[in-house]
Structure 1
Amino acid sequence: MTLPVTGTAALFLSVVFGFAFGFLLHRGRVADYNTIVRQFLFQDFTVLKIMMTAIIVGGVGVFLMVQFGYAKFHIKPADLLAVSLGAALFGVGMVLYGYCPGTALAAIGGGSLHALVGAGGMLVGGIVYALTFDWVKATILPVGALGRVQLHTLLGISPWAIFAALAVVALTLFVAVERASAKRA
């Protein structure tokens, strides 16, 4: 059973959820350039904690919505070379810029001028990608193309086992980070 939200209600909800998301990014301090830089310097693990928590909670939430019929999966093709190159490019960009796209928009909303300038780089990158997409499609996407698959199907295990494993990894990381932080203090 799906509940269609369209038109004005969808626009209103997108603004409400967008503001809520931006507020939570600011509240969690991940819209702060220094917090992100300190993550890459292994001095502040706020970003790691928030991302791991978001991945697990979001994954479980989406999976439950699909199970109860409130959403549908739209599985994208698993193109390993493209994903690897994209992840590397994203990582380098995040280190140089000091923001990911979501935190950059939240920082812009909070009045950060350097985040606004850097957003121009994101737009240029998007334009370059669009202009070179035919080449990317012919050259990069076919390498390591697994098709539309999900990790739990590839591994032959329950999605809940993956969520449980992620939760164990996250808790282990959280404990290790807290212990290391306590030793430094």
Structure 2
Amino acid sequence: MELVIGLVTGILWGYIFQRTRILRFEKHVGLLTLTDLTVLKFLLTGVLIGAIGIQILTTLGLATYHLKPTFVLANLLGGVIYGLGWAILGYCPGTAPGAVGEGSLDGIFAVLGGLCGAMAFAHTYPFWQKTVYGVGALGKISLPAILHFPPLLLGIIFAGLLLAFILFLEKMGW
């Protein structure tokens, strides 16, 4: 049954990706040049739904958090590498396989680049663990714990701010 759910979910996401055209290289370049924010609005909508959804599921006891430790320098470096890869290739890891499925040859290089990067990281992990992971190691922290807010309320506030931002972008014609 899990495989069927996965298949149906994959088909649904593929359809949505196709309809929004976020698998297209031009859409990602449009985001990076701030001329077409379709990809940003799509991503923020996913974060908005996830922010509310995970809080509702955890509040109802249907899901639990599995916090990972926060390593500030490692997160910053990872974000820079991720962003550079996206800027150079014009695809993010979520859309590159979809672009390949759509027949995009340049998407193949994005997928291969991601796989090579993951292998390089795995083979050099002891180095990163010794040098980078100790800088800014904050442990398992969360925004609700830091702000002393109920997680569901914070999720609703965060989702509301994201929705306001998305609507602002739409109103401005971006």
Q: TM-score, normalised by structure 1?
A: 0.86
Q: Which amino acid aligns with 1:174?
A: L
How many percent of aligned residue pairs carry the same amino acid? 30
Match of 1:111 among 103, 124, 133: 103
Query: Which residue pairs with 2:140 in the alignment?
Result: 148
Report the Cα offset of residue 172 of structure 1: 3.4
Q: TM-score, normalised by structure 2?
A: 0.91
**CA–CA distance in structure 2, aligned partners of residues 75 and 165 of structure 1:** 19
Match of 1:51 among 43, 46, 53: 43
Q: How many residue pairs align between the two structures?
A: 173
Match of 1:70 among 62, 73, 86: 62
Query: Which residue pairs with 1:131 in the alignment?
Result: 123
Structure 1 residues 45-65: Cα deviation after superposition (integer angstroms, max 9, x where no partner): 111111111101111111111
Report the Cα offset of residue 103 of structure 1: 0.5
Report the Cα offset of residue 155 of structure 1: 2.3
* Contact kept in structure 1, 2:69 and 2:138, CA below 8 Å: yes
Report the Cα offset of residue 43 of structure 1: 0.6
User: Where in structure 2 are the equivalents of 1:61-100 lying within 5 Å?
Assistant: 61-100=53-92
Report the Cα offset of residue 180 of structure 1: 5.5
Report the Cα offset of residue 68 of structure 1: 1.2
Report the Cα offset of residue 78 of structure 1: 1.0
Match of 2:10 among 18, 28, 31: 18
Q: Could you tell which deviates more after superposition, 127-136 or 21-30?
A: 21-30
Q: 1:63 to 1:161 in 2, by over 3 A?
A: closer
Structural RMSD (CA): 1.7
**CA–CA distance in structure 1, aligned partners of residues 48 and 60 of structure 2:** 18
Unaligned regions of 5+ residues in structure 2, if any?
A: none
Match of 2:161 among 149, 161, 168: 168
**CA–CA distance in structure 2, aligned partners of residues 80 and 155 of structure 1:** 18
Structure 1 residues 82-114: Cα deviation after superposition (integer angstroms, max 9, x where no partner): 111111110111011111111111111111111
* Contact kept in structure 1, 2:55 and 2:155, CA below 8 Å: no
Q: 1:16 to 1:165 in 2, by over 3 A?
A: closer
Q: 1:145 to 1:111 in 2, by over 3 A?
A: same
Q: Which amino acid aligns with 2:105?
A: L
* Contact kept in structure 1, 2:44 and 2:166, CA below 8 Å: no
Q: 1:120 to 1:172 in 2, by over 3 A?
A: closer
Query: Which residue pairs with 2:26 in the alignment?
Result: 34
**CA–CA distance in structure 2, aligned partners of residues 98 and 81 of structure 1:** 25
